[in-house]
């Protein structure tokens, strides 16, 4: 085996964010950039010799180039086998499923999730551990530190591997096994849900569904499962061919970027009764009923409240978890079920240790992610199948189910306002001033609302005791309302300010008040506390979801 050592120098800025390292393609394709980061990952592993690595990505621009580089480097790092998705494709939840099912040492997932792709778009890479979940902060920090002192990277000199056909090849001494990216994942989903019941629902003439794969990785998975195994009519999955630039779109399933799907469900002539979408790498989901968008926070709460209809969970839930900015709707469900509800920082990695310890079964985030103990990533298509299973079992529509949920538990009216591409210096100033105000806020009254608690969220992992500080500024108000401020950790340009707004409304007569109208007083309060317009010069958010 011809191992080549290349001298290199540290490259600035290789610090992983909320979910791995995400940068512009132009940054990633600089000489040595990807190699430095991958070597920094490998230098932090021990015991990988002869073991299996799982490798795949969402098919975005640069995916194929990066895979060939990583294969050669994995061979030099001593891996015995790499399982790589055919054509380099593996959705994030499918990669997690394969790592677990094949008892791999770990995995590398190539994706910038919901961020746009193409030569001018974004690329990303993250390392997942043997449990199938994203590496924790201790590991990602160690990778970053390594990237600051790296002096050499290694690869095996060998030609590109043909990833178009399943089968096995040798690269140096390492086996490269090209696998069907859908098989393990589809089998896992079938073991969780009542596929017969879902198939009956999909066969009903009055039930018509559309799944928008947004030209991203979920297309082949949704076609194989919904149209293949479950018999949904051909054409149920739209935009189902993954494209390196997602067809020029922004593969983020929210009301702004999946506006076509929302419009189709609002059109009485479309005949559609249920809609769903997934993102670039297949871990996020959007659920849409007739003229009704289910908010991700509500979706998590509804899934938890209806666990009994799902074969895999019908025995009961050990616990549930949500990220701090996610609405407290699921907390009310947990309380009524008498099970624990954990509140973690943003980032799926924080759910992993609780899932591994068996302390929770379902978890989710406001950022359109829900998942369970079946893998260690959020799972877009899983959430859609969960909803279909509930619809089939209850024989009701999504809006009926959500409205009934509100009547029973009250409604946590919720919205997120994003201010994108703010100059970093302005964002830093905003947070510095905001943090300076926190100690004096509790007990004061702002715009007629009393502040009960104002702090910077910190989290101690109940299983491994690790501590994460500065995970978002939260202002809790009397009556269960909240305003949370956070900077995104997944963007690649400037800073994105996220303002999360939540108000609890128990009175069913007020449940249909439009969301933004119900939250207007909190928007005004957020402005008063954080001076967003003055500091950033923006008087309205770019995206409201």
Between 40 and 326, whose beta carbon lies closer to ligand G16?
326
Considering only residues 40, 96, 113, 278, which one is a binding residue for ligand G16 as defined by CB under 6 A?
113
Q: Which of 91, 111, 113, 323 is catalytic?
A: 113
- Residue pair 280/217 in contact (Cβ under 8 Å)? The answer is yes
Q: Does 541 bind ligand G16 (CB under 6 A)?
A: no
To ligand G16, the closest distance from the beta carbon of 350 in angstroms equals 8
Q: Tokens for 321?
A: 């978890």
* 18 binds ligand G16 per the rule CB under 6 A: yes
Active site residue 91: no
Beta bridge mates, 321: 342, 363
- CB of 487: closest distance to ligand G16 in angstroms? 8
Beta strands in 48-147 (DSSP E): 52-57, 81-89, 106-110, 122-128
Closest C-alpha among 414, 300, 461 to residue 365: 300
**Residue 141 CB, nearest approach to ligand G16 (Å):** 17
Minimal distance, residue 491 CB to ligand G16, in Å: 6
Cβ proximity to ligand G16: between 403 and 426 the closer is: 426
Nearer to ligand G16, 134 or 289 (CB): 134
Q: What does 335-354 look like in DSSP terms, one character per residue?
A: HHHT--EEEE-SSTHHHHHH
Q: Which is nearer to ligand G16, 250 or 498 (CB)?
A: 498
172 or 325: CB nearest ligand G16 = 325
| Per-position x/- string for 312-341, each x denoting binding to ligand G16 as judged by CB under 6 A, each - no binding | -----------x------------------
- Strand, helix or coil for residue 137: helix
Q: Measured on CA atoms in the order 137, 375, 167, 109, is the torsion positive or negative?
A: negative
Helix, coil or strand: residue 524: helix
Sheet holding 274-278, edge to edge: 237-238, 209-212, 274-278, 285-289, 292-294
Shortest distance in whole angstroms from residue 251 CB to ligand G16: 10
CB of 279 to ligand G16, least distance (A): 6
Closest to ligand G16 by CB, 350 vs 409, is 350
DSSP letter for each residue of 303-343: HHHTGGGSTTTTT--S-EEEETTS-THHHHHHHHHT--EEE
Does the protein bind ligand G16 through residue 19 (CB under 6 A)?
yes
Burial 33-72 (b: 16+ CB within 10 A, else e): bbbbbbbbbbbbbeebeebbbbbbbbbbbbbbbbbbebbb
Number of neighbours of residue 93 by Cβ within 10 angstroms: 30
Here's the x/- map for ligand G16, 490-529, by CB under 6 A: it reads as: x-------x-------------------------------
Nearest approach, Cβ of 19 to ligand G16 (angstroms)? 4
Whose Cβ is closer to ligand G16: residue 100's or residue 498's?
Answer: 498
Please give the residues from 430 up to 469 whose contact with ligand G16 meets the rule CB under 6 A. none
Q: What is the DSSP letter of 167?
A: E
Residue 181 or 371 having the CB closest to ligand G16: 371
CB closer to ligand G16 out of 59 and 172: 59
CB 245 within 8 A of CB 255: no
Query: Binding-site residue total for ligand G16 (CB under 6 A)?
Result: 17
Whose tokens are 């849900």? That residue is 193
Using a 10 angstrom Cβ sphere, with 0-12 exposed, 13-18 middle and 19 or more buried, the burial of residue 352 is buried
Q: Exactly one of 36, 346, 353, 545 binds ligand G16 (CB under 6 A); which one?
A: 346
Tokens for 149, please give them.
Answer: 């002192």
Residue 144 C-beta: closest distance to ligand G16, Å: 17
- According to DSSP, the residues that pair with 277 across neighbouring strands are 212, 286
Question: Hey, is 501 helix, strand or coil?
Answer: strand
Place of tokens 């299983």: 463
Q: Which one of residues 72, 284, 376, 411 is an interface residue with ligand G16 (CB under 6 A)?
A: 284
Neighbour-count burial of 456, counting CB atoms closer than 10 A to its CB (0-12 exposed, 13-18 middle, 19+ buried): middle
Q: x-or-dash pattern for ligand G16, window 462-491, by CB under 6 A?
A: --------------------------xxx-
Indicate which single residue of 122, 194, 212, 283 sits in contact with ligand G16 (rule: CB under 6 A).
Answer: 283
Closest contact distance (angstroms) between CB of 351 and ligand G16 is 8
Helix axes 380-394, 195-203, angle to 10 degrees: 70
Residues 124-143: x/- map of binding to ligand G16 (CB under 6 A)? --------------------
Are the beta carbons of 369 and 362 closer than 8 angstroms?
Answer: no
For residue 489, which of 18, 1, 166, 117 has the smallest C-alpha distance? 18
Instruction: Restricting to residues 354-413, name those near ligand G16 by CB under 6 A.
Output: 365, 367, 369
- Among 23, 114, 154, 322, the residue binding ligand G16 under the rule CB under 6 A is 114
Per CB under 6 A, residues contacting ligand G16 are 18-19, 113-114, 283-284, 323, 346-348, 365, 367, 369, 488-490, 498
User: Hey, which residues are catalytic here?
Assistant: 113
């Amino acid at each position: 085996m011809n191992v080549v050592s290349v001298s290199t120098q540290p490259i600035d800025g290789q610090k992983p964010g909320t979910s791995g390292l995400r940068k512009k393609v132009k940054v990633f394709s600089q000489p040595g950039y990807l190699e430095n980061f991958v070597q920094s990952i490998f230098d932090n592993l021990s015991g990988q010799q002869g073991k299996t690595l799982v490798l795949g990505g969402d098919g975005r621009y640069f995916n194929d180039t990066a895979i060939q580089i990583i294969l050669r480097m994995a061979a030099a790092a001593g891996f015995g086998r790499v399982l790589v998705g055919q054509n380099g494709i593996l959705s994030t939840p499918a990669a997690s499923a394969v790592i677990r099912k094949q008892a791999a040492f770990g995995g590398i997932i190539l994706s910038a999730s919901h961020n746009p792709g193409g030569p001018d778009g974004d690329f990303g890479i993250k390392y997942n551990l043997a449990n199938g979940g994203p590496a924790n902060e201790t590991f990602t920090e160690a990778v970053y530190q390594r990237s600051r002192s790296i002096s050499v990277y290694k690869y095996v000199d060998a030609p590109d591997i043909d990833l178009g056909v399943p089968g096995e090849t040798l690269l140096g001494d390492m086996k490269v096994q090209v696998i069907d990216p859908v098989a393990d994942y589809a089998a896992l989903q079938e073991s969780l849900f009542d596929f017969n019941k879902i198939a009956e629902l999909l066969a009903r003439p009055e039930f018509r569904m559309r799944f928008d794969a947004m030209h991203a990785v979920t297309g082949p998975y949704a076609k194989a499962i919904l149209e293949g195994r479950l018999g949904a009519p051909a054409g149920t999955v739209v935009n189902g061919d993954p494209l390196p630039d997602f067809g020029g779109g922004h593969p983020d399933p929210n009301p702004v970027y999946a506006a076509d799907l929302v419009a189709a469900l609002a059109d009485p002539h479309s005949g559609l009764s249920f809609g769903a979408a997934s993102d670039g790498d297949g871990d996020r989901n959007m659920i849409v009923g007739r003229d009704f968008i289910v908010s991700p926070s509500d979706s998590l709460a509804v899934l938890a409240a209806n666990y009994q209809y799902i074969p895999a969970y019908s025995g009961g839930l050990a616990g549930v978890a949500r990220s701090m900015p996610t609405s407290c709707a699921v907390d009310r469900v947990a309380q009524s079920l008498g099970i624990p509800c954990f509140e973690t920082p943003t980032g799926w990695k924080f759910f992993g240790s609780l899932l591994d310890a068996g302390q929770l079964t379902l978890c989710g985030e406001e950022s359109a992610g829900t998942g369970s103990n079946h893998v260690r990533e959020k799972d877009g298509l899983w959430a859609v199948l969960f909803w279909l299973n509930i619809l089939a079992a209850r024989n009701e529509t999504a809006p009926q189910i959500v409205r009934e949920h509100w009547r029973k538990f009250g409604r946590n009216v919720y919205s997120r306002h994003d201010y994108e591409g703010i100059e970093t210096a302005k964002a830093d100033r905003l947070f510095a001033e905001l943090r300076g105000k926190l100690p004096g806020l509790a007990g004061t009254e702002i715009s007629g609302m009393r502040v009960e608690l104002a702090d910077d969220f910190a989290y101690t992992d109940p299983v491994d005791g690790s501590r994460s500080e500065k995970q978002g500024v939260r202002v809790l108000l009397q009556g269960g309302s909240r305003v949370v401020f956070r900077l995104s950790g997944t963007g690649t340009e400037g800073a994105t300010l996220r303002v999360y707004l939540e108000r609890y409304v128990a009175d069913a007569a007020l449940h249909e008040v439009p969301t933004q109208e119900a939250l207007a007083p909190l928007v005004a309060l957020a402005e008063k506390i954080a001076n967003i317009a003055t500091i950033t010069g923006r008087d309205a958010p770019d995206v409201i979801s």
